Chains A and B, each alone.
Chain A
């Protein structure tokens, strides 16, 4: 018996906008970056208008992503502090994935997996910005010693796959968890969803 009153707000309109702007720019960054990373992916450069445009646009989209994602994520830091319960949740994650929830500690606004993703993204964002600036032609790269640029481009590539892998997990989990996508598209979740997935949060806001 779900009525309109049973909906709880999970994300405000501006949070949702920020999430999707950063999601779309992340996808463009991943595709334009992969075009440079491996010859088998070089054809992806056409997406942004060919090799030169791919090279020119990638870092600017990167800065946009950084700003929008930081604006979205930093205010959520308080809800993402990892607790003992989260570690237990993480230790039991196999059971969660098998739809078997018995004996798993209650989850607050975010579960252990979401919190790990949060910190991975935050750290990765800083590494990508710093290393990206160091290799950014023609504006900044020639100000840095060549060995630093070599390390930066490797760090950039490796961090990029780290984040791409994390985002694949994130997308899989949010599609798998029915109702999550609606939360990010419409901003609201049902009481049942909140009680089931995030009882600690439900207790606070419900």
Chain B
């Protein structure tokens, strides 16, 4: 799936710089939650473009269908009803899927060289032919997005239609949205569009409207306009201040060089010790006599041995 026209910013489990002489614009998708009517055209477009056919599920008594992301459903609409202070109904419908983090926890965690890449335009993409199915990306992601397929044991998630974007098209979901809720363009433009929309929402009484572009993960290339940006959790548990878990930071941070150095030094140290000190030998003649054990204070007191 590597696209030669898309340069790579980061590559999983790789210690040398990836190819990157081009300087493409940073792209972003902007999802304006205040305009979403929950029609799921984007869900259908995603299945269509990516040739995915998820299993037909059953109705769980909500509009959520399917109820969760899966290896074959890379985006799902999450519905949540809330009552406002003055007793009115508010319907929060959020299109869930990969946020395309600037600092992607999935990529940080991935142990397989090249299974996850971040293109220079900001898209985080899984190259499934290199995926080994370890599930580490599921632990790295702060948004609980990637899913392992039980069929081919590889992880999948939204690609932000990297194949379409590479040839100058917008993602399939963007193209299909009938209300113009999903925008796509350079990140700069999308931030600008969002600012205009947030100002409108504030005028209409949503005092805490705002842009969701969480800085804890360096910002994201999928952003939301939220009518209640002070409470992102309202929107089916969107995390307020997502960051890569400190456990993952430790595991993929200092633990790696320290662990490797300790093992290397110990092996070298053991070898040098042996070479310098020579083996601990037992002198058969002096000890093999018929008498009892030498014991402490004997001619050859006991020493160590493994």
Contact = CB atoms under 8 A, between A and B. Distances in A.
B277 interface: yes
B270 interface: yes
B13 interface: yes
B277, B287, B305 — most chain A CB neighbours (10 Å) = B305
Interface string A18-29: 000000000000
Contacts of A203: 292-293
User: Interface on chain B toward A: helix, strand, loop, or mixed SS?
Assistant: loop
A81 B165 CA distance: 66
A168 B284 contact: no
A190 B296 contact: no
A196 interface: yes
18 contacts: A42-B113, A51-B132, A52-B132, A55-B132, A106-B296, A106-B302, A107-B305, A113-B304, A150-B139, A157-B255, A173-B306, A190-B288, A191-B288, A196-B287, A196-B294, A196-B302, A197-B282, A199-B294
Closest 10 CB pairs of A and B: A172-B270, A197-B305, A51-B132, A177-B305, A137-B135, A150-B247, A192-B287, A101-B303, A173-B306, A96-B304
Nearest to A58: B134
A114 B153 CA distance: 42
A41 interface: yes
A175 B273 CA distance: 11
A82 to B, nearest CB: 15
Given A52-B132, A138-B153, A154-B251, A37 B138 contact: no
A54 B112 CA distance: 11
Interface of A: 1-2, 6, 34-42, 45, 51-52, 54-55, 89, 93, 96-99, 101-107, 111, 113-114, 117, 135, 137-138, 141-142, 146-147, 149-151, 153-154, 157-158, 161, 164-165, 168-180, 190-193, 195-199, 202-203, 206
Contacts of A197: 282, 302-305
A104 B305 CA distance: 13
B86 interface: no
User: Interface on chain A toward B: helix, strand, loop, or mixed SS?
Assistant: helix
Interface of B: 13-15, 111-113, 130, 132-136, 138-139, 144, 148, 150, 153, 245, 247-248, 250-251, 255-256, 259-260, 262-263, 266-267, 270-271, 273-274, 277, 279-288, 292-296, 298, 300-306
Given A97-B304, A196-B294, A41 B260 contact: yes
A40 B113 CA distance: 10
A101 to B, nearest CB: 4
Contacts of B287: 191-192, 195-196
Contacts of B273: 97, 172, 176
Contacts of B298: 199
B274 A195 contact: no
B288 A2 contact: yes
Contacts of B282: 178-179, 190, 192-193, 196-197
A132 B134 CA distance: 12
B224 to A, nearest CB: 22
A161 B288 contact: no
Contact of A178 (B135, B255, B281, B296): B281
Contacts of B296: 104-106
B277 A176 contact: yes
A42 B111 contact: yes
A199 B293 contact: yes
Contacts of A107: 302-305
B13 A39 contact: yes
A34 B264 CA distance: 12
Contacts of A168: 263, 266-267, 270
A157 to B, nearest CB: 6
A157 B304 CA distance: 30
Contact of B285 (A1, A149, A158): A1
Contacts of A41: 260
Given A1-B288, A52-B132, A93 B274 contact: no
A177 B270 contact: no
B295 A137 contact: no
Contacts of B271: 172
Given A55-B133, A147-B245, 4 more contacts: A106-B296, A150-B245, A196-B303, A196-B305
B150 A178 contact: no
Contacts of B260: 34, 37-38, 40-41
Nearest to B289: A1
Contacts of B138: 141, 146, 149
Contacts of A55: 132-134
Contacts of A96: 303-304
A75 B144 CA distance: 45
